[in-house]
Amino acid sequence: MDISSLRERDNPGAFTVSELNGYIKSVFENNRTLSSVTVKGEVSNFTAHRSGHLYFSLKDAEGQIRAVMFRSSALRLKFMPESGMKVIVHGAVTVYPRDGSYQIYVSSMQPDGIGALYLAYEQLKEKLSVEGLFDTEHKLPIPKMPSKIGVITSPTGAAVRDIINVTGRRFPLCDLYIYPSLVQGDGAEDNLIRAIDYFDKSELVDVVIIGRGGGSIEDLWAFNSERLARRIFEASVPVISAVGHETDFTICDFVSDLRAPTPSAAAELAVPDVREINLRVDEFADRCVLSLRRSLERARERLIRASKSYVFESPESLTEAYRLKVDGLKADAVSAMKIAIRDASEKLSINAEKLSALSPLSVLSRGYSITERDGKNLKSVIDVKAGDDIYIRLNDGSLSAKVTSVFGGAENNE
C-alpha cells in the first residue's frame, strides 16, 4: 500500500483503522529482516489447539512477543514444546490486521541448548513410563531353550552376521528366521512394526531379537518410535532389544522384555551354550552314578545286617513258634466245632419231638383216623353224600368205603 495515495483523499492524513493496519502489515512484510528472523526466548502460555496449530508467547526478562505455528509446520517438530522451555524459532514477523497486533509466524523450532531429538526422546520416555509400558510386571519370560528365533534387522548389516555366528556357535540346534527390515531413514518405522506383526501373529518363533548396530541418535531414531514401542508392548511373543552399542539406549530397549547391549549379546541371552549343557549333563550323569553306588552300598549293608539277624541264624526257631501257634489254633477250632455240633444236635432233637407231637400220624396211634374223599381231608359231613367213595386212614393202614347214609349236618339242621 502506497502512503502517498492515502494522503490524496478528501481528508489528507486521515486513515481508517484497517488502512493503517494494512499499511503497517505491508511495511513488516517488505522488511528483509522481519520477513526472515530467528528469535530465542522462553515459551509461555503454550496451547496446542485441536486443529493442530500451536499458540504461545516468546519472552525474555524484558519483553515478549506472541507467536503461532501452523499445523503444517508443527507436524515436522521432533518434540512437543512446553511452557517454560527455552527455544530458538525461525519465522516471519507480521501484523494481524483485525486487531492491529503483531506476532511471529514460526516455521521451525528447536530447543535452545539441547537437541530436538534428544528432547523428544526424553518426553516420550517419560510419557510411556508413566503409562506403565516399562514396568517389570509386564515383561514376558525369555524361553530357556528356544528352538526357533526371529531376527528383525538389516539383512546386510554386521548385526545379522553377529547373531548368526553367535547362535550357530552356542546352540546350533536353533533355527533362525530373518525378517529383513530397514533400520534407519524413511520407512524404517513401518518396516519394524510390520516385522513385529508378522512374528506375533504367525506364532512361528519362540522369541524375537530386534536391533541394529550403533550410530547417532538420528540413525537410531526409528527405534524411538511411539508406535513401535506400543506394538512391542502388545506382542505376545517375547522380544529382546539389541540396538546400538552398550551405551546406546532407545525406547525400544525400555519397552522390550529384555534389553541386550549389542546384537551379539542378544544372541548370547537368547540361546544357551551347548558346551555348558553338555557339562551339566555330564555332571548330572556323574551325580546319578554316585547316587546309585551309594544306594547299592546301603542296600548291601542292610543285607549283611539282615543275614546276621536271629531269624537267619536260627530259622527253625521262628517256624517252631509258628507251628505251636498253629497247633493251638487247630485245637481251639476242633473244640469249637464239637461244641457247635453238640448244641445243634440238642436243638434238633427238641425240634423233632415237637414236630412228632404235632404230626397227624401220632394222633392216629391213639385210635383216631383220617377220612378223605378225592384226596382231601373231610372236615364235615356236609362235604359228602350217600354213595360217595371215601378212604379212611388208620394207624396201621387205610380202608376204602362207600357212604350209605349221612347223619347230622344239613339234615340235622332241617
Instruction: Indicate the helix (H) or strand (E) that contains 338.
Output: helix 315-358
- The runs of H, that is alpha helices, within 203-273 are 226-234, 251-255, 263-270
In this structure, is residue 290 part of a structural domain?
A: no
Tell me if the pTM is above 0.85.
Answer: no
Same domain? For 236 and 168 the reply is yes
Range of the domain at 401: 364-413
CA contacts within 13 A on the Cβ side of 176: 24
* Same domain? 93 vs 61: yes
Q: All 3 cell numbers of residue 297?
A: 552300598
Instruction: Look at phi and psi of residue 80 and say left if phi exceeds 0, alpha if psi is from -120 to 50, else beta.
Output: beta
* In a shared domain, residues 40 and 145: no
In a domain, 396, yes or no: yes
Which of 257, 272, 287 represents a domain boundary (last residue)?
Answer: 272
- From CA 293, how far away is CA 370, in angstroms rounded? 96
Domain-ending residue, one of 239, 272, 305 = 272
Q: Are residues 100 and 127 in the same domain?
A: no
Query: Is 343 part of any domain?
Result: no
From first to last of the 414 residues of the chain, give the pLDDT tens digit: 555 555 455 556 677 888 887 888 888 877 888 888 889 888 889 999 999 999 999 988 888 999 999 999 998 887 788 888 888 889 999 888 787 788 999 998 888 766 677 888 888 899 999 999 999 999 999 999 999 999 999 999 899 999 999 999 999 999 999 999 999 988 999 999 999 999 999 999 999 999 998 888 788 889 999 999 999 999 999 999 999 887 778 999 999 999 999 999 999 999 999 888 888 888 888 899 889 989 998 988 888 887 777 666 677 666 777 788 888 888 889 889 989 998 888 888 888 777 776 666 666 666 677 888 887 887 788 888 888 888 888 777 888 888 888 887 655 444
Q: Are residues 128 and 268 in the same domain?
A: yes
Domain count of the chain? 3
Task: With residue 397 as reference, give the H or E element that holds it.
Answer: strand 397-402
Helix then strand count (H, E) for the chain reads 15, 14
Q: Which residues pair with 86 in a beta bridge?
A: 42
CATH of the domain at 95: 2.40.50.140
133 and 253 housed in the same domain: yes
Domain boundary among 77, 94, 114: 114
> Do residues 249 and 134 both lie within one domain?
yes
Residue 294 lies in a domain: no
* DSSP, res 132: T
